[in-house]
Homo-oligomer: A and B are copies of this chain.
Amino acid sequence: MRKILVIGAGKSSSSLISYLLDKSSIENLHIIVADVSLEIAKSKVKNHLNGSAISLDIFNEVERKKAIQNSDIVISMLPAHLHFSVAKDCLHFKKNMVTASYISKEMKSLNEEAIKNNLIFMNEIGLDPGIDHMSAMQVIDSIRNKGGKMLLFESFTGGLVAPESDDNLWNYKFTWNPRNVILAGHGGAAKFIQEGTYKYIPYQKLFRRTEIIKIDGYGKFEVYANRDSLNYRSIYGLDDILTLYRGTVRRVGFARAWNIFVQLGMTDDSYTMENSENMSYRDFTNSFLAYNPNDSVELKLRYYLKIDQDDIIWEKLVELDLFNPNKKVGLKNATPAQILEKILKDSWTLKEDDKDMIVMQHLFGYELNGKKQQIESSMVCIGDNQTYTAMAKTVGLPLAMATLKILNGEITTPGVQLPIKKEVYEPILKELKEYGIIFKEKTVPYLGYNPNNVIS
């Protein structure tokens, strides 16, 4: 039996562990699921014959080393900053390792030693990063192999609520870490290239510079720019590309309403508010508006942000109970962002029967034989339920598949890797299709950067 150690058995591990258990008999695997909570680990193993659950405190060096030594390959589902100690143990005990996280500087620093020991440390092989790399590189490589020259690459990803569970005005529910949603766009201007020109969008305008995209069968979505559009320029071999843009997908109208929170200052995470615990939702909203003894909080907000009375934005705010004088915040020394998260969780938490949805679309513009062409590649994945969510499937399945393929010697390039090589993306994208994670490609006219896609 070949032993796979999965460290971390949270929500995002369910599809990963299921896949491995399902393959365990035919592939001769034993899956050891380790978590700080034995109960959570057990809930994932479900008494499977080829699985076992163990309690593991990652900060306990003896326990950690023992578990790693006792495995053939390690999957770390820990928070990103905890991968490094696992990676060092893997180096020491000569084990391959797989994560879904961005390659940190620390992780990167192990590259030479990993190569020397012929070890594979595969990272960024979840959804985003992960499926985005693989699906993009497959098309980019095929264009290049035909002799094409890349002109444009745009890539959009979003975690949303499935249409059948979409029952609020924002067409949005939290399907992942809410805090990351609240803080999206913080930390600096978004930077990208359009037709050879560097463009910068400051936070205060990020949600007013969206683009509209369409996905066949699912209608229109909007995209706001990520901070890091140029991060993979060199890695993808796109140093000379004219247009490079990455963005986050929401349903149309989300960003325009979210901008209200930005303008009010409700997404600020840099200071704590006075007396936040005893504040009502209405008090919270009023904190960002000028004092006026004669006007309501409602009218002050409308006037301040110039919201017409029949604007749907208004209904969106009301739906969140932002003006409720009776609901208390109940959080001590909280930042505006923490309070907003609390308020949004009241409205945007998935119900028991709700399903989530992952949407990804890439646009590839290129020149081949003197002709400009464009490929649009789209993927939509809908969750089965609240355990096998679209997020758990799209993050966990590529991780699991990569792990098995490394174990089986199908993926062989050693070092600190990300999945941009054909030996990785080709078999994994092929197998993902069996699980309904399918990119639909179509050829569209080359638009270059079409100004009609811009909303001011």
Q: Knowing A200-B273, A273-B200, A274-B198, say if A268 contacts B189 (CB, 8 Å).
A: yes
Q: Knowing A188-B270, A189-B271, say if A200 contacts B451 (CB, 8 Å).
A: no
Pick the residue among B197, B292, B295 that contacts A287 (CB under 8 A): B197
Taking a contact as CB atoms under 8 Å apart, the answer to whether B273 and A199 are in contact is no
Taking a contact as CB atoms under 8 Å apart, the answer to whether B286 and A197 are in contact is yes
Taking a contact as CB atoms under 8 Å apart, the answer to whether A209 and B263 are in contact is no
Interface size of A as a range: 35 or more
Pick the residue among B203, B264, B288, B292 that contacts A451 (CB under 8 A): B292
Residues of B within 8 A of A289 (CB): 199
Residues of B within 8 A of A273 (CB): 198, 200
Q: Knowing A189-B270, A304-B456, say if A204 contacts B263 (CB, 8 Å).
A: yes
Chain A 236-269 interface residues, beta-carbon cutoff 8 Å to B: 262-265, 268
A293 on the interface (CB 8 Å rule)? Answer: yes
A398 on the interface (CB 8 Å rule)? Answer: no
Residues of B within 8 A of A304 (CB): 456
Q: Knowing A265-B189, A271-B191, say if A200 contacts B454 (CB, 8 Å).
A: no
Pick the residue among B262, B268, B274, B291 that contacts A449 (CB under 8 A): B291
Residues of B within 8 A of A286 (CB): 197
Residues of B within 8 A of A343 (CB): none
A278 on the interface (CB 8 Å rule)? Answer: no
A365 on the interface (CB 8 Å rule)? Answer: no
Whole-angstrom distance between the Cβ of A50 and the nearest chain B Cβ = 50
Taking a contact as CB atoms under 8 Å apart, the answer to whether B265 and A202 are in contact is yes
A303 on the interface (CB 8 Å rule)? Answer: yes
Taking a contact as CB atoms under 8 Å apart, the answer to whether B293 and A195 are in contact is yes
Chain A 125-153 interface residues, beta-carbon cutoff 8 Å to B: none
Cα A322 to Cα B201 in complex, Å, equals: 18
A70 on the interface (CB 8 Å rule)? Answer: no
Taking a contact as CB atoms under 8 Å apart, the answer to whether A202 and B268 are in contact is yes
Q: A289-331 vs B: 1/0 string, CB under 8 Å?
A: 1111111000000011000000000000000000000000000
Residues of B within 8 A of A294 (CB): 451
Residues of B within 8 A of A274 (CB): 198
A349 on the interface (CB 8 Å rule)? Answer: no
Chain A 317-367 interface residues, beta-carbon cutoff 8 Å to B: 336
Chain B's closest residue to A290 (CB) is: B454
Q: A177-205 vs B: 1/0 string, CB under 8 Å?
A: 00000000000110100110111111111
| A residues lining the B interface (CB < 8 Å) | 188-189, 191, 194-195, 197-205, 209, 262-265, 268, 270-271, 273-275, 286-295, 303-304, 336, 449, 451, 454, 456
Known A195-B291, A204-B263, A290-B454; further 14 A-B contacts with Cβ < 8 A: A188-B268, A189-B268, A197-B291, A198-B273, A198-B287, A199-B287, A200-B271, A200-B287, A201-B265, A202-B268, A203-B204, A204-B265, A209-B290, A290-B451
Q: List 9 A-B contacts (CB under 8 A).
A: A189-B271, A191-B271, A198-B287, A199-B289, A199-B290, A200-B268, A202-B264, A205-B263, A291-B449
